[in-house]
A = this chain, B = another copy of it.
Amino acid sequence: MLAQCGGYVPLGYRGAGCMTVSAGATDLPPSIGRARFCTDIGEALAGVRDAMSVMIGGFGAVGQPDALIEGLIDTGVTDLTIIANNAGAGRIGLARLLELGRVRRVICSYPRSPGSVVFEELYEAGNIELEIVPQGTLSERMRAAGAGIPAFFTPTAAGTSIAEGKEVRRFNGRECILETALHADLALIEAWHADAAGNLTYRASGRNFNPVMATAAELVVAQVHHVERNGFLNPEAVVTPGLFVDRIIEIGA
């Protein structure tokens, strides 16, 4: 029903001089920005290490980079800190990563939801650390990390158990607590379209945490449904500019 996001501009020139960007109907375009196009998941995840902090996009299953999570499992890395809204469901994807014992610590807003059996077992057995962060504080801490804000005050969670140990200050009569930026070593995100400049758009509510995570991690890897081969995304409709993206792997719709 809805028109697809953005329009496209014809392939053409870029840079202060000129370089023609051309690609066949199936070839990936040459990268003309920071982002590199990868041909397999292994290449997209090259260099991941034990003990990394990893942001994983998505809200529930929507906008979640499933292929990259599977790829992360396959690398065998362990002792991870996972930063995501949820802590997985069933015994696949993120839940499987947890079940395999690869995760030391989870930072999330909503670990307990229908099907989060793996997380609950680990938590109740004392085999996983949990930092609960209100959903808005979670996204704001990521946004702060991406925007160079080391810390900010917020009324969210003031006076609650989540405020324990945090600095308290009143602004305009309202009690606030100090929260700090939340960075990660790696962000795994899912987007809808990518162009040769690494610009990304998202689809509907698949947007969620993905754009803000792309700003907050040292290495940003995006699985995308379509790489645009015949033009660029409309500059008015780009959600994540290419400068945030290190690697792109096309998954298909």
Residues of A within 8 A of B (CB): 1-9, 140, 144, 147-155, 171-172, 174, 176, 180, 201-204, 234-237
Contacts and interface: CB of A to CB of B under 8 A. Distances in A.
B154 A153 contact: no
Q: How many copies does the complex hold?
A: 2
A57 B186 CA distance: 36
26 contacts: A2-B7, A2-B234, A3-B6, A3-B7, A3-B8, A4-B236, A5-B234, A5-B237, A6-B6, A6-B237, A7-B7, A140-B147, A140-B149, A144-B152, A148-B154, A149-B152, A150-B154, A150-B155, A150-B171, A150-B172, A150-B176, A151-B152, A151-B171, A151-B176, A152-B153, A201-B236
A236 B237 contact: yes
A9 B1 contact: yes
B171 A6 contact: no
A77 B155 CA distance: 35
A157 to B, nearest CB: 13
Contact of A237 (B176, B180, B237): B237
Contacts of A237: 5-6, 234, 236-237
Nearest to A174: B150
Nearest to A181: B171
Given A3-B8, A236-B6, A148 B155 contact: yes
Contacts of A202: 236
Contacts of A236: 2, 4-6, 201-204, 237
A173 to B, nearest CB: 11
Nearest to A238: B237
A174 B149 CA distance: 11
Contacts of A6: 3, 6, 234, 236-237
